[in-house]
Amino acid sequence: MSRPDASSIHWAVLAHPGLSAPLQQEGGLVTDLAGIAGDPSGNELPGSVVVIDDRLPGAHALLEAYALRRPDVGMLLIGDDLPAQAVRALFRFAASDVLACSATAEMVQTACQTLAAKARKETAPASGATCWALRGAVGGAGVTTLAIETAFAMKQRQPTWQVCLIDLNLTDGMSAAFLDGQKKLDVAGLCAAPERIDSTLLRAYAWEHEKGIFLLAGPRAPLAEEVATRDGILQLLDVACGMFDHVVVDLPRHRTPWTDPILSVVDEVLVVSELTVPSLHAAGDLCREVDALRTGVAPAKLVLNRMFAKRSHRHSFPVDKAERAIHRKIDFTIRSDWDSARMAANLGMPIAQVKARSPLVKDIASLVETLVEGTSDTQERGAA
Ligand SMILES: Nc1ncnc2c1ncn2[C@@H]1O[C@H](COP(=O)(O)OP(=O)(O)O)[C@@H](O)[C@H]1O
Ligand SMILES: [Mg+2]
């Protein structure tokens, strides 16, 4: 088990200063939970490794809140003679541990390091597949379009790669419609017995495009998110990562029980924004929220979609100024190509197939190349 970089761990602590002080020295962000212990229901629950001292006021409510809303964290509970309810809550976390009240600060420190490594391992995909998730800062930013084109660009880059696109917009996913594909994913059946999900079952749920891309997408189902479970969706992703070389996930904008665990472990998170001030600010905020979930993995990348297609226009958009305003680097820009996007959607084909020379397709190819090569810092914006 690899020891995570301590400086990238976000510790959240409800404990006496004597026990939490060594975590401060480890580096990384340390958040004191005393302020929200009184009312955890009304607050975001921070951290990737959480330490709660059972003896302090609000400890039980805080533990329950984390078990319900942030089961992806590593949870360390300090206490003697714990009530059954607290022990049950502990079972819900990706990784958890208990120390007696007599534990020393060094014991807390060691347990926290182990939890940080375990939490990542427990929620991480099982194999060496790369998994990228795309999420929009605002509705209609272009997530589905970019997810589809990314999957096709991967296949184009290396035809031997097995590439799968998973549409997790369970209620109203559009990727199958964009590709004129079959919606074969049965979310209710899958989540009813997550332990039965294996490669054979997923193969039956997947539709294969003639270019060799696999699509896991269900029919329009307004109640799908009510029957879907965190375990089922994470198992689906886990098995898919064991079957394919590259998995691209089209995530909905709203939060679901499986959103945070996915965002915390995938290799790359691409936050897609359109070219408006409100969208850029939302994208900056969303990137920071995602970063708080990601320890020891790449921070979220911001993708600015539908940039002006003409070079002269593009240069008139002050990307640097936008970056300063939102305190965030814009990692990639994708140029606008309405005609090709509309034609592709109407034909039920990827844009790469309808117009391979589209600037949008070129920019996506450049994004894929950059991320696959792991050189995102060097990509030239809006590369022609
Ligand atoms: N770079 C682009 N240039 C032109 N049109 C685009 C581009 N990206 C997306 N679109 C179009 O914008 C609309 C919304 O895109 P979509 O992928 O459905 O967004 P989302 O999944 O975020 O709701 C679609 O009509 C799509 O064809
Ligand atoms: Mg969409």
* pLDDT tens digits, 129-183: 899 999 999 999 999 999 999 999 999 998 889 999 999 999 999 999 999 999 9
User: 311 pLDDT band (50/70/90 cuts)?
Assistant: low
183 CB-near residues (< 8 Å, 6+ apart): 173, 176, 207, 217, 218, 219, 220
Please say whether the structural domain 6-121 has been given the CATH code 3.40.50.800.
Answer: no
Q: What is the mean pLDDT of residues 295-316?
A: 79
Q: What is the mean pLDDT of residues 252-281?
A: 94
Task: Point out the ligand nearest to the CA of residue 362.
Answer: 1
Length of the chain: 384
Ligand 1 atom nearest to CA at 140: 23
User: 196 pLDDT band (50/70/90 cuts)?
Assistant: confident
On whether the CB atoms of residues 281 and 323 are closer than 8 A, the answer is no
Q: Which of 22, 35, 189 is nearest to 108 (CA)?
A: 22
Residues enclosing ligand 1, CB less than 6 A? 136, 139-145, 174, 305-306, 334, 336-338, 341, 345, 360
H or E segment at 29?
Answer: strand 29-32
Cross-strand partners of 303: 272, 332
Query: Does position 92 have pLDDT exceeding 90, yes or no?
Result: no
Query: Does position 366 have pLDDT exceeding 90, yes or no?
Result: yes
- Residue 120 C-alpha to ligand 1 middle, in angstroms? 33
Q: What is the mean pLDDT of residues 97-113?
A: 88
227 CB-near residues (< 8 Å, 6+ apart): 187, 188, 191, 192
| DSSP H helices in the chain | 17-26, 34-37, 59-69, 84-90, 105-123, 143-157, 175-178, 187-192, 199-205, 224-227, 230-243, 259-265, 277-293, 311-316, 319-326, 338-347, 351-354, 359-373
- Residue 315 C-alpha to ligand 1 middle, in angstroms? 22
Q: What is the mean pLDDT of residues 233-256?
A: 94
Specify the CATH class of 130-378 in words. Answer: alpha beta
Ligand 1 atom nearest to CA at 334: 1
Can you tell me which residue has the tokens 């917009």? 169
Ligand 1 atom nearest to CA at 344: 27
Query: Does position 306 have pLDDT exceeding 90, yes or no?
Result: yes
Written as six digits, the tokens of 67 are 């078990």
Task: Point out the ligand nearest to the CA of residue 146.
Answer: 1
User: 364 pLDDT band (50/70/90 cuts)?
Assistant: very high
Averaged pLDDT of the chain:
87
Ligand 1 atom nearest to CA at 148: 17
Q: Quote the pLDDT of residue 22.
A: 72
Report CA 94 to chain centroid distance, whole Å: 16
User: 41 pLDDT band (50/70/90 cuts)?
Assistant: confident
Task: Point out the ligand nearest to the CA of residue 174.
Answer: 2
Listed in order, the ranges of the chain carrying CATH 3.40.50.2300 are: 6-121
| Probe target for ligand 1 pocket from 145, 152, 165, 346, with the most ligand atoms within 8 Å of CB | 145
Helix, strand or coil, per DSSP, at residue 36 = helix
- Residue 21 C-alpha to ligand 2 middle, in angstroms? 45
Listed in order, the ranges of the chain carrying CATH 3.40.50.300 are: 130-378
Q: What is the mean pLDDT of residues 352-370?
A: 96
User: 68 pLDDT band (50/70/90 cuts)?
Assistant: confident
- Residue 362 C-alpha to ligand 2 middle, in angstroms? 21
Query: Does position 338 have pLDDT exceeding 70, yes or no?
Result: yes
- Residue 174 C-alpha to ligand 2 middle, in angstroms? 6
Q: How far apart are CA 223 and CA 162, in angstroms?
A: 31
- Residue 360 C-alpha to ligand 2 middle, in angstroms? 17
Nearest CA to ligand 1 atom 5: 338
Cross-strand partners of 198: none
Residue 376 vs residue 75, higher pLDDT = 75
Task: Point out the ligand nearest to the CA of residue 173.
Answer: 2
Written as six digits, the tokens of 368 are 């894929």
Q: Quote the pLDDT of residue 186.
A: 95
Q: Quote the pLDDT of residue 121.
A: 59
- Residue 317 C-alpha to ligand 1 middle, in angstroms? 20
Query: Does position 380 have pLDDT exceeding 60, yes or no?
Result: no
Helix, strand or coil, per DSSP, at residue 136 = strand
Ligand 1 atom nearest to CA at 306: 1
Can you tell me which residue has the tokens 């992806």? 72
Nearest CA to ligand 1 atom 24: 142
Which of 14-23, 152-161, 283-292 has the lowest average pLDDT?
A: 14-23
Task: Point out the ligand nearest to the CA of residue 345.
Answer: 1
Q: Which residues surround ligand 2, an ion (CB under 5 A)?
A: 143-144, 174
Which of 174-178, 250-254, 321-325 has the lowest average pLDDT?
A: 321-325
Query: Does position 23 have pLDDT exceeding 80, yes or no?
Result: no
Query: Does position 5 have pLDDT exceeding 60, yes or no?
Result: no
Q: What is the mean pLDDT of residues 294-319?
A: 79
| Residue 55, CA distances (Å) to 24, 48, 98, 180, 324 in order | 21, 22, 13, 58, 44
Query: Does position 53 have pLDDT exceeding 50, yes or no?
Result: yes
Query: Does position 67 have pLDDT exceeding 60, yes or no?
Result: yes
Q: How far apart are CA 348 and CA 343, in angstroms?
A: 8
- Residue 145 C-alpha to ligand 1 middle, in angstroms? 5
Written as six digits, the tokens of 15 are 């404990």
Nearest CA to ligand 1 atom 15: 142
- Residue 372 C-alpha to ligand 1 middle, in angstroms? 23
Q: Quote the pLDDT of residue 376.
A: 43
Q: Quote the pLDDT of residue 54.
A: 93
Query: Does position 263 have pLDDT exceeding 90, yes or no?
Result: yes
Query: Does position 117 have pLDDT exceeding 80, yes or no?
Result: no
